[in-house]
Amino acid sequence: MPPSNPADPPDTSTGQRNTADLLDSTGQRYTTAGQAIPANNAKLQVITDELMSAAAQRRQIDPYSSRPGGLTLADAYGVADEVRKRRHLRGEVPVGRKIGFTNRQIWAEYDVWAPIWGTVYNSTLHLLRDQRHEAAAQFDVTHLRELCIEPEIVFGLGQAPQAGMTADELLGCIAWVAHGFELVQSIYPGWKFAAADTVAAFGLHGALWLGPRVELPSDTAARSRWQQALAGFEIELLCDDVVVDRGQASHVLDGPLFALRHLVELLGADPAAPALQAGELVSTGTLTRALPVRAGQTWSTRLNGLDLPARPAPGDRLSQPPRLARHSAGRRHRPASLNTRRPPQRRRNVPRTNAPAWRVHVAAGRCHSVPGPGA
């Protein structure tokens, strides 16, 4: 992924960046108001130093928005660019993007009123194990502060999407779909921050646990079913087998596909932002509230209306199209939490819980996926 230096002035009415900045013949960037943006902003370097140091020392800091001079969203994306460069230099390779605050239901809770984006790295991407004989994938979470969990839909790009694409055209750029968990963190105490603070602080990204990928079919009818499913599914989030929150596709900007479109439009309007490329993944934002994670807990989900696999085929690539779940009065779907189970034989006209079946277990200082009975 090419590095970026998005230093656009904030649009205070929406929380978004103004995207019509200019470059002169020397490469110097200017805002639409004609204000020069230094190529090496000492303030941004100082902020980057503090953020990287705080992360390494596992400590929290005061949000920059509460300090004298504050932090603009423009400068925050400049910091994020510098962070990305430094992490890349130490061997952390960008593999995709995460979109934050796509769920309108949580905007008031955090006083953040528009989506932001950040980078996912090879060091923060983890595959949920699927078979009992596989070694448990583990991730050290002791360096993450005030850890929360978010169930999300993740897209893998087979082609680079372009601004102005229709939903059909965007779907054609997606090679696979998966369900996963993002572990988010707050380097700021009490999850108190402004949008700019979240952008600078790694987009709040801690880790992304990715479930089995479903390869999208090429035929038009099957893709149409996928488009319907991605706009209409529902989800339950469970902690220790108890439902703690519910969500639906429309919560994330009317659906994960629309969240992707928002990101594409945002990046496409900003000449300094790195465009999405084929091969990247995009995590489209939490479908429920972000809930705190504690040691000893096991987290799981139930997805209804989106046919993701209970276990992947060889090579973790499937071509099975989704089937929209039909709801019957008084009929319950089979729970398919995050541990591998064999799906029961399907009966005609009986809906199936459409969820990957894994669990994520949090132990003291570590988070790992575990299989369940029947794996």
Mean pLDDT of 336-346: 31
Q: Determine the pLDDT at residue 41.
A: 81
Q: Determine the pLDDT at residue 309.
A: 55
User: pLDDT at residue 303 above 60?
Assistant: yes
User: pLDDT at residue 302 above 80?
Assistant: yes
Mean pLDDT of 350-366: 46
User: pLDDT at residue 14 above 70?
Assistant: no
Report the distance separating Cα 286 and Cα 282, nearest Å: 12
Contact 237, 299 (CB under 8 A): yes
Mean pLDDT of 335-363: 38
User: Which of 49, 44, 119 lies closest to 84, judged by CA?
Assistant: 119
Alpha-helix runs per DSSP H in 181-219: 195-200
Cβ-count burial 208-221 (b if 16+ within 10 Å, e if not):
bbbbbbbbbbeeee
Mean pLDDT of 287-312: 82
pLDDT digits (tens, 9 = 90+) for 233-292: 999 999 988 999 999 999 999 999 999 999 999 888 777 789 999 999 999 999 999 999
Q: Determine the pLDDT at residue 137.
A: 53
User: pLDDT at residue 332 above 50?
Assistant: no
* Single pTM value for the model: 0.75
Q: Other CB atoms closer than 10 Å to residue 12's CB: what's the count?
A: 10
Q: Determine the pLDDT at residue 174.
A: 97
Residues facing residue 177 across a β-bridge: 155, 214
pLDDT band at 91 (very low <50, low <70, confident <90, very high): very high
Share of the chain above pLDDT 70, in %: 68
> Which residues, other chains included, contact 339 with Cβ-Cβ below 8 Å and sequence gap of 6+?
300, 357, 358, 359, 370, 371, 372, 373, 375
**DSSP-assigned letters across all residues of 334-370:** PP--SS--PPPPP-TT---------EEEEETTEEEEE
Instruction: Check residues 296 and 212 and name the one with the higher pLDDT.
Output: 212
Mean pLDDT of 99-105: 96
User: Which of 297, 358, 320 lies closest to 127, judged by CA?
Assistant: 358
pLDDT digits (tens, 9 = 90+) for 153-183: 999 999 999 999 999 999 999 999 999 999 9
Q: Determine the pLDDT at residue 299.
A: 86
Mean pLDDT of 226-230: 95
Joined tokens for residue 257:
């596909």
Instruction: Check residues 279 and 315 and name the one with the higher pLDDT.
Output: 279
Joined tokens for residue 169:
């055209």
Q: Determine the pLDDT at residue 344.
A: 31
Q: Determine the pLDDT at residue 272.
A: 75
User: pLDDT at residue 347 above 50?
Assistant: no
Architecture of domain 96-327+334-370: Alpha-Beta Complex (3.90)
User: pLDDT at residue 191 above 90?
Assistant: yes
DSSP secondary structure letter of residue 227? H
Q: Determine the pLDDT at residue 295.
A: 78
User: pLDDT at residue 106 above 90?
Assistant: yes
User: pLDDT at residue 4 above 50?
Assistant: no
Mean pLDDT of 212-225: 92
